[in-house]
Amino acid sequence: MNLHLPQYTATLSEIQASPNNPRLFRKWLGELVLVNMGETTRAVYKCLRTLNRQQIGARSRFELNELLRPTARIVLRHLSKHLNGASFPLLGKSAQIAKLNHALLLELAVAYKHVVHDSVVKGGNIDRKSLVISIHRAMRYLEESIAWNAALYRTDPASSWHDIHRLQGFAEKQHVADSNVVDSEYRTIDESTITDVYKQVCLLALAQPLRLRTGEAQKLRTYFETASHLVGFTRQLTPDANGRVHVVSLKSSEPPAYIPLADITTFSNLRGFDLTRLISTLGDIADSIEEAGDVQTGFSKVQLDPQLIRRLITTWTTEEKRRFSRVSTNRGITASIGLRRIIQAIHADLQPEYSKDELFNRDGAAMQGGIEANQFPPVDDLLTPGLRSDLSEFDPTYRDGLLLGEDVVDPGASPTRQPDTWLDWQVVNTGAGGYGLTWDAEEPSHARVGELMALREKEYNIHHWRVGIIRWMKNPPDGGLQVGVQLIAPRALVISVDTIVNRSHSEIMPLEALMLPGMKTIQQPPSILVPNGFFKVGDILEVSMLGKKLRIELTELGENPSFYSQFFYQSSEVREEPAPSKEEFEDLWNRL
């Protein structure tokens, strides 16, 4: 049986010192000091690694594995506490813990793969039930390692998918793929089949984890525990309305893919996934929440928000095509991440005619200069309901005086160092639709999928802040961070939201927001970006911009992660209703 297994390289002294039979192993477990999780983690990992590199009978190894499982789970839960909510790229201790967590999961999978391999190749004395459990356990640990890679925006080693496919194929040949196995380590269920585990890990891979927002991969993993029963798994490939299929090869080392049926040249060892029922169920849940505001989890104990459901359905049903070609490059760029930081970064950009290097030279001295005040378009252009195509004159740079209509004055001395909100990224490719960027600094980047990112680019001798959304992120184990940014506006203007005109509110006003022009390339009308939770569709806002006060009506909600909201808007001209004229003898009637 072709599985990735380590060679038996344990030395004689290591073998003699290891608890390699059930009696010694129970004694070793009893001596572990669980209050010292660092020492316990070290002991568990080293012992497991040594056992996996020495010859042990299949029956004895299976017993050792089952004895270790509860303690191994305690260690894994302890490690996970250090990884939940981590910032990217992973640095220092977090990076080491992620590496250890992955290594421990793979070693646990190896322990059970040894049992399966030896029972087949060496004819080990193991019963059928224990064999089924070993296949199930090995796949579960591999699935968990893939789920953690998804949560940490890392790609999976080909060996993990290779072994998952081979274990599923072996279970099918042995006619045990649909046998139930009790597993107390699930969160929402108590048992599952080998095919259930296979469908669960494949569903997560088909969700394109590098595009999921923080925490969504783990939430989907838990949701798929119960949702997998809605997914058909068959040898027959039936295309959807787009002529595409969700398919996987049991003889490959690749995750499942969503590809045209016409592109498949050989059908041996292929399996198809029918997501029709799952997509329909998820769509109904999203509709009910959006229409009635009710929280409905359906058959699952896990609640998925409508936005995640919509994105998931789009991923499963839409052909992914890059609309614009990319050009490879290697240059630095100034960026800012997050709505609040972007506004602060634009505030700090007092001299857009200079590059960052000109503003902040090696001696730390900044350039001096005045501010040009003629870079802004007429206010009416920002309120045009159509999509703007010529935006070259729209300067995004906000200056304090302009917002309130004051005279522009020379700012005097500029800052002597780069603002904290200005971050140095590297551009690896660029196109009309966005950027591919890398972060090599040994510090957190503030990047997360779905977050806003503004990039300071030069156009017509002036630097503008282009606004985009981080659509995917990759955090390689060897360091650095890679992100893909979709451009949603070539300019941005800081405005002040003074009040909500048509309803009472408790929010403290004014607050700052970003106003974006429309963008033809992605068919997006003008919009504003505001902090999350302040406004809703139908609100009429009074805003100050470029020395004028305007009213806009929020007509539709766009992007709406937990950290900002995008609203599309239209101009709202509020006219006072004239007082009705009194009839000539109106006052007389009541006196008669």
pLDDT digits (tens, 9 = 90+) for 444-491: 999 999 999 999 999 888 999 999 999 999 999 888 899 999 999 999
Identify whether the C-beta of residue 51 lies closer than 8 Å to the C-beta of residue 14. no
- Give a three-class secondary structure readout of 154-175: CCCCHHHHHHHHHHHHHHHHCC
pLDDT of residue 546: 84
| Contacts of 127-130 spanning 24+ positions with Cβ under 8 A | 128/176, 130/59, 130/62
pLDDT for res 568? 96
Most trustworthy range by pLDDT among 252-266, 285-299, 559-573 = 252-266
What mean pLDDT do residues 176-185 have? 98
Q: Are residues 417 and 563 in the same domain?
A: no
**What's residue 300's pLDDT?**
63
Alpha-carbon span 205 to 315, nearest angstrom? 11
Q: Which one has a higher pLDDT value, 295 or 281?
A: 281
Can you tell me the distance from the alpha carbon of 194 to that of 180, in angstroms, rounded to the nearest whole number?
8
Residue 360: predicted pLDDT: 78
| Amino acid 589: pLDDT | 40
391-433 pLDDT, tens digit each = 333 343 333 333 333 334 444 455 568 899 999 999 999 988 8
Q: In this structure, are 473 and 349 located in the same domain?
A: yes
Claim to verify: residue 340 and residue 479 sit in the same structural domain: yes
Q: Taking Cα atoms as reference points, which of 225, 319, 240, 327 lies closest to residue 275?
A: 240
Of the candidates 471, 489, 507, which is a domain's last residue? 489
Average pLDDT of the chain to the nearest whole number: 87
Q: Does the pLDDT of residue 179 top 90, yes or no?
A: yes
Give the pLDDT of residue 391. Answer: 36
pLDDT of residue 366: 45
- Residue 505 burial (CB count, 10 A): 11
**Given this model, what pLDDT does residue 81 score?**
95
Is 517 in the same domain as 534? yes
What is the mean pLDDT of the segment spanning 186-206?
Answer: 98
Half-sphere exposure of 401 (CA within 13 A, CB side): 10
Residue 451 resides in a domain: yes
Examine the pLDDT at 298 and tell me if it is beyond 90: no
Instruction: Give the mean model confidence (pLDDT) for residues 244-250.
Output: 97
On whether residue 112 sits in a domain, the answer given is no
> Which domain covers residue 557, as residue numbers?
493-571
Q: Rounded to the nearest 5°, which phi and psi values hold at 298? A: 65, -130
What's the average model confidence in pLDDT over 363-367?
A: 45
Structure tokens at 166: 């081979």
- Paired residues of 234 in beta bridges: 272
Instruction: Give the 3-state DSSP-derived string for 60-98, with helices as H, strands as E and coil as C.
Output: HHHHHHHHHHHHHHHHHHHHHHHHCCCCCCCCHHHHHHH
Average pLDDT over residues 47-74: 97
In a domain, 168, yes or no: no
296: pLDDT confidence band, cut at 50, 70 and 90? Answer: low
Residues 485 and 360 in one domain: yes
Smallest CA-to-CA distance from 514 within 453, 458, 562, 463 is with 453
Q: Which residue has the tokens 């981590």?
A: 86
DSSP 3-state of 21: coil
Picking from 436, 454, 489, the residue at the C-terminal end of a domain is: 489
If one compares 459 and 11, the residue with the highest pLDDT of the two is: 11
Q: What is the pLDDT of residue 123?
A: 77
Reported as a pLDDT band with limits 50, 70 and 90, residue 519 is: confident
Q: Are 146 and 205 in contact (CB under 8 A)?
A: yes
Same domain, yes or no, for 348 and 446?
Answer: yes
Residue 243 has pLDDT above 90, yes or no: yes
Share of the chain above pLDDT 90, in %: 73
Q: What phi and psi, each to the nearest 5 degrees, are found at residue 292? A: -110, -10
Are 331 and 477 members of one domain? yes
420 and 535 part of one domain: no
Q: Are residues 357 and 453 in the same domain?
A: yes
In a domain, 382, yes or no: yes
**Distance (Å, rounded) from C-alpha 106 to C-alpha 163?**
11
Number of structural domains (the chain) is 2
Q: Identify the pLDDT of residue 576.
A: 42
Query: Does the structure show a pLDDT above 80 at 195?
Result: yes
Closest alpha carbon to 149 in 209, 223, 71: 209
543 shares its domain with 443:
no
Same structural domain, 439 and 529: no
Inside any domain, residue 459: yes
- pLDDT of 322 strictly over 70: no
pLDDT value at residue 66? 98
Look at residue 396 in the predicted model and tell me its pLDDT.
Answer: 38
Domain annotation covers residue 304:
no
Distance of CA 251 to the CA centre of its chain: 29
Residues 430 and 404 in one domain: yes
Q: What is the CA radius of gyration of the chain?
A: 30
Structural domain contains residue 544:
yes
Instruction: Report the alpha-carbon distance of residue 283 to residue 159 in Å, rounded.
Output: 35
Give the Cα separation of 120 and 113 in Å (integer).
11
Range with lowest mean pLDDT among 75-84, 124-133, 314-323: 314-323
pLDDT-based confidence at 530, cuts 50/70/90?
very high
* pLDDT of 167 above 90: yes
pLDDT given at position 85: 87
Domain membership of residue 256 (yes or no) is no
Residue 489 CB burial class (10 angstroms; 0-12, 13-18, ≥19): buried
The answer on pLDDT for 371 being more than 50 is no
Domain boundary among 489, 517, 546: 489
The reported pLDDT for the residue numbered 42 is 97
Mean pLDDT, rounded, for 35-62: 97
The model's confidence at residue 330, banded by pLDDT at 50, 70 and 90, is: very high
Top pLDDT among 310 and 290 is at 310
